[in-house]
Amino acid sequence: MAAPTMLLLLADGRFPAGAHAHSAGLEAAVAAGRVTDLATLGGYLRGRLATAGLVAAAFAAAARRAAWSSGRRATLARLDAELDARTASPAQRAVSRRQGRALLRAGRQIWPAATFDDLPVTPGGPHQPLTLGLVGAAAGLDPAQVATVAAHATVTGSASAAVRLLGLDPYQVQALLVRLAGACDATAARAARAAEEPPERLPAAAAPLADIHAEAHATWEVRLFAS
């Protein structure tokens, strides 16, 4: 197991991979009048954890498992295609690849000795969870820790966006995150177990409104967050 500080550094919102620019669908959900207060934010975060959070954490853990395997390039290519098939919304695919590119840039600078060249070469960039898996490997994290980073990011990104979008009390939002910590850990544990399966068997938990919100958000001319 990696030193705890390494886990904290990767999970930190200040890690320079541009996470602060994304609300993970919250901005569109707020605009649609679906998230209006702390209670609806709690429902939103629980739903995100069970869907996008579980999928992202499972793929990150699977990429981390592939990192030190012999068939690494082929496995990462399969994971890339499988994650595309789980991301019906083109806007969400583009966002995942843009975030993956930003994380890859940081990873290459911070761990110059690590190899990221086996990530699939795609026009938009590598998917964020796959990149996170390899960055996690470079940082010495195990698959369960990588899944924890991914699940944690699912809730913290939207939560800090909620403070800005809804003017919620930061203490109350933090208290909500504390209440969700157990669900976050359970999601990460489930994702890490799921990551032992072959790529086609990984979780595919869908959220119709996430796709619909993401496409609506992509059409806006003015927005506070990139997603």
Partner 1 sequence: MRATARLVARADGHGRTVLPELRGESPLLLRQVPAGDGGVTVYVVGGAAGPLAGDELRLDVEVGPGAVVRVHTVAASIALPGRPGPVSRMLVRATVAAGATLRWLPEQLVAAAGCAHVGDAQVDVAEGGTLHWRDELICGRHGEQPGHAEVNTWVDLAGRPLLRQSLTVGPDVPGWAGPAVLGGAAATGSLLVVDPARPAEPPAVAGTVARLPLAGGLATLWTATAADAHTLRAYLEPPTENRSWCGGAPPEPVSDQHSLAGMGG
Which helix (H) or strand (E) is 109 found in, with range? Answer: helix 90-110
User: DSSP state, 168?
Assistant: -
Supply 120's token pair: 């699939």
Query: Nearer Cβ to partner 1, position 13 or 43?
Result: 43
Query: Nearer Cβ to partner 1, position 44 or 116?
Result: 44
Question: Minimum Å distance from CB 116 to partner 1?
Answer: 22
Question: Minimum Å distance from CB 166 to partner 1?
Answer: 12
* Residues 45, 176 contacting (CB under 8 angstroms): yes
User: DSSP state, 20?
Assistant: G
Radius of gyration of the chain (CA): 16
Task: Quote the distance between the C-alpha of residue 223 and its chain's center.
Answer: 21
Question: Minimum Å distance from CB 186 to partner 1?
Answer: 9
Question: Minimum Å distance from CB 225 to partner 1?
Answer: 12
Query: Nearer Cβ to partner 1, position 1 or 206?
Result: 206
Query: Nearer Cβ to partner 1, position 79 or 132?
Result: 79
Query: Nearer Cβ to partner 1, position 26 or 103?
Result: 26
Question: Minimum Å distance from CB 33 to partner 1?
Answer: 6
Phi, psi of 169 (to 5 degrees): -70, 120
- Give the binding site for partner 1 (CB under 8 A): 25, 28-35, 40, 43-52, 81-82, 84-91, 93, 183, 200, 203-212, 215-216, 218-220
Count of beta carbons in the 10 Å neighbourhood of residue 71: 11
